[in-house]
């Protein structure tokens, strides 16, 4: 495969952009090789600057459940563009999108639109602290909630502990208010609560997608809700990735647990920068201008992004059996991959939630970040490189999940499974 243009273009990018990318995982440092510089995309395919074609299982990291350049979404964007690119004033389109989100998710009575998942989770935390009049928060090791200071915190030597900054530039004075528990471990969460009488909230990805795809156990999520109620802390579900991806109701289709606040992103913007946070009215009404908790954004509710998101949600709701069909393809893919891996002596763990899927080269079932980190990342890197050479674009990290879109079909999935067989054979005989 010729990638000379990608190599040259990436080297040029590195001269003006730190690392050559505007989001770190795109740099391929976890898997090696040169990132592909993408020129265009359509349906479920990416085309790079050397005109190589790839089956895309990233789908812009989740938003494109309808695939690239969906005709209805593009048409909605074009109509919005004809009216202007932004106003800095309220629009009826924002209200329509808000109603669509609220109508799909139990417990969300009001919602505020923002521009990124990081902004949504950061704002939800501020709101939770104001509502509870407490300072500390609890997160889980392996869950990613954006790059705000309070959340760039990893577990210390034990998981029931105040965390350590996981990036230079994050003051210890910030991280000392963040406790880190072990995912799918109620005893760890209980210990966090017992180590502080100042916990405002617990934030969790109920379907974690940032340590690979690792869903919470049903009993665990139930226990998290009960502990939050016991210690008078709010429960925040981060559904930036899983919202409208795992199901029309996000994680609620898998757990009969309603959070106090929830954050959305990805799908609700249809591929454009848009996110949101919402919850009960008595909490949301604390936001300025109605309340005293300040949050603002010049581009919040941008009409082009709102148009793309609204068109996406409407089409999802109008497409019969969309999640069942996407899940069927995801199961077919992961089961086929696992079978081929096992045939050549490689251990693989797989998981599917709706249109989301994940796989690990690991001997053990992965239920938390501790076990995920035991995966064979070197084997994953070699697998990724060889699949990319065959035109299959998986996420360039063991600790990311993949996505199925409506532009995919059984023929495409069968092709990928056949490619896996060839690649596993090559890896076995290397």
> Any idea which residues carry the catalytic annotation?
144, 238, 266
The whole-angstrom separation of Cα 7 and Cα 149 is 34
DSSP 153-172: EE--SSSSEE-EESSTT--H
Residue in the structure block whose two tokens are 């990018």: 13
**Per 3-state DSSP, what percentage of the chain is helix, strand, and coil (rounded to 5)?**
40, 20, 40
Backbone angles phi, psi at 203, to 5 degrees: -115, 135
DSSP strand E in 84-205: where?
110-114, 136-140, 153-154, 161-162, 164-165, 178-181, 199-204
The whole-angstrom separation of Cα 124 and Cα 21 is 28
- How does DSSP classify residue 61? T
The number of angstroms, rounded, from the C-alpha of 390 to the middle of its chain's C-alpha atoms is: 26
Burial class (CB in 10 A: 0-12, 13-18, 19+), 158: exposed
Q: Is 112 in a helix, a strand, or coil?
A: strand
Token pair in block for residue 137: 């928060």
Q: Which residues of 203-239 are buried (b: 16+ CB within 10 A; e: fewer)?
A: bbbbbbbbbbbbbbeeebbebbbebbeebebbbbbbb
Token pair in block for residue 385: 């490189």
The whole-angstrom separation of Cα 92 and Cα 103 is 17
Token pair in block for residue 363: 């001997």
The whole-angstrom separation of Cα 154 and Cα 180 is 7
Residue in the structure block whose two tokens are 């090791």: 141
The whole-angstrom separation of Cα 68 and Cα 46 is 9
């Amino acid at each position: 495969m010729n990638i000379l243009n990608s190599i040259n273009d990436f080297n040029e990018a590195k001269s003006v952009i730190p690392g050559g990318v505007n989001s770190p995982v795109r740099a391929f440092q976890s898997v090696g090789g040169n990132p592909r510089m993408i020129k265009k995309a359509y349906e479920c395919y990416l085309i790079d600057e050397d005109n190589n074609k790839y089956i895309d299982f990233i789908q812009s990291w989740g938003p494109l459940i309808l695939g690239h350049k969906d005709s209805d979404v593009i048409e909605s964007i074009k109509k919005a563009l004809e009216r202007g690119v932004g106003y800095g004033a309220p629009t009826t389109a924002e209200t329509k999108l808000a109603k669509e989100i609220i109508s799909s998710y139990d417990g969300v009575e009001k919602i505020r639109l923002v521009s990124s998942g990081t902004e949504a989770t950061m704002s939800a935390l501020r709101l939770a602290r104001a509502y509870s009049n407490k300072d500390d928060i609890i997160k889980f090791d392996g869950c990613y909630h954006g790059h705000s200071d309070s959340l760039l915190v990893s577990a210390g030597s034990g998981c029931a502990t105040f965390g350590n900054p996981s990036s230079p530039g994050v003051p210890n004075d910030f991280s000392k208010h963040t406790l880190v528990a072990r995912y799918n471990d109620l005893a760890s969460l209980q210990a966090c609560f017992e180590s502080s009488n100042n916990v405002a909230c617990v934030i969790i990805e109920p379907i974690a997608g940032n340590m690979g795809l690792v869903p919470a156990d049903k009993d665990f999520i139930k226990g998290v809700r009960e502990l939050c109620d016991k210690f008078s802390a709010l429960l925040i579900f981060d559904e930036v990735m899983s919202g409208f991806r795992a199901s029309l109701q996000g994680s609620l289709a898998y757990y009969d647990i309603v959070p106090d606040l929830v954050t959305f992103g990805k799908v609700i913007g249809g591929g454009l920068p848009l996110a949101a946070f919402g919850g009960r009215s008595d909490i949301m009404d604390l936001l300025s201008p109605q309340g005293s908790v300040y949050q603002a954004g010049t581009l919040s509710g941008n009409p082009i992004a709102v148009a793309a998101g609204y068109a996406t949600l409407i089409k999802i709701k109008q497409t019969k059996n969309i999640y069942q069909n996407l899940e069927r393809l995801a199961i077919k893919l992961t089961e086929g991959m696992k079978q081929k891996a096992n045939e050549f002596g490689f251990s693989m763990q797989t998981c599917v939630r709706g249109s989301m899927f994940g796989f690990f080269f690991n001997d053990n079932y992965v239920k938390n970040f501790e076990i995920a980190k035991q995966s064979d990342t070197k084997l994953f890197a070699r697998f990724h490189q060889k699949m990319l050479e065959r035109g299959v674009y998986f996420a360039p990290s063991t600790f990311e999940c993949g996505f199925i879109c409506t532009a995919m079909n059984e023929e495409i999935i069968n092709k990928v499974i056949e490619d896996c067989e060839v690649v596993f054979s090559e890896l076995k005989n290397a």
